[in-house]
Chains A and B, each alone.
Chain A
Amino acid sequence: GENVEQHPSTLSVQEGDSAVIKCTYSDSASNYFPWYKQELGKGPQLIIDIRSNVGEKKDQRIAVTLNKTAKHFSLHITETQPEDSAVYFCAANSNYQLIWGAGTKLIIKP
C-alpha cells in the first residue's frame, strides 16, 4: 500500500542553523503534502502544506519543496530558534486519506 518515509528520525542542529527534513511517498496520485508540528504535551498542528501544482512554498522561516518526479518533498527551517524544538510529521494524501511519516524529532542546541 501507500507509504511515506521520513528521514531523519532525529535531527540536532545548532541554534541559528538550518534544518532539513525529507519525506518520500509512493503513490503517484498524491497531490497534497502537509507538515505538522507536535510540541511536547500537545497535539500536532499544521505549519505548512503544498499542493502538486507548485514546487515550493514559503512562510517566513519555513519552506517546503516538492519534487513530483522523484516523489519526495522536504521541510526547510532557517535560522532555527529554541521554539522550533518539536516532532515534525510529514504526510501525503492517498485514497482519500492522509498517510503519515514516522516523525522527526528536531533538537535545537543553544
Chain B
Amino acid sequence: DSGVTQTPKHLITATGQRVTLRCSPRSGDLSVYWYQQSLDQGLQFLIQYYNGEERAKGNILERFSAQQFPDLHSELNLSSLELGDSALYFCASSVAWQAQETQYFGPGTRLLVL
C-alpha cells in the first residue's frame, strides 16, 4: 500500500459526459501527479501540482483540467468524454516538486467511456 488513495476505482460513463477523479496523496507529500495509461500503453504524464499550484504540464487535453486543494487532495476533471478517453488514470504523490523525488502511485481509476 503506497498510502495514495484514489476514488472511484471504476467509472463507467457515456460519451459527452463529464467525470471527476479524486486523489489523496500520502501524508506529508505536497506534490501530486496525474497520469493516463491506455490499454497496452505506457504512462502519459498529464499534469503536476505542488502545494496547490500547477508545477508542470504534460500531454493534457484542453478538455481535461485538474486542481489541488488546500488540504492537498487533487481532482482531475474530464469533460466532453470520448471513447478514446477510456483508460486507467493514476495519481502519484511525492514529498517535493523536483523530478528526482520518488513518486508513490495510487491504485488507479479505471474509466470506461461507452
Contact = CB atoms under 8 A, between A and B. Distances in A.
B14 interface: no
A44 B102 contact: no
Interface string A19-36: 000000000000010101
B34 interface: no
A97 B99 contact: yes
Interface residues of A, number: 21
B99 A96 contact: yes
A41 B65 CA distance: 25
A-B residue pairs, 3 tightest by C-beta: A43-B105, A93-B99, A102-B42
24 contacts: A43-B4, A43-B92, A43-B108, A44-B43, A44-B90, A44-B105, A45-B2, A45-B105, A46-B102, A49-B102, A93-B99, A93-B100, A96-B55, A96-B98, A97-B45, A97-B48, A97-B58, A98-B99, A98-B103, A100-B42, A101-B42, A102-B42, A103-B42, A103-B43
Nearest to B55: A96
Interface in B78-108: 90, 92, 97-100, 102-103, 105-108
The B interface is mostly helix, strand or loop, or mixed, namely loop
A36 to B, nearest CB: 8
Interface of B: 2, 4, 41-43, 45, 48, 55-56, 58, 90, 92, 97-100, 102-103, 105-108
The A interface is mostly helix, strand or loop, or mixed, namely strand
A41 B106 CA distance: 11
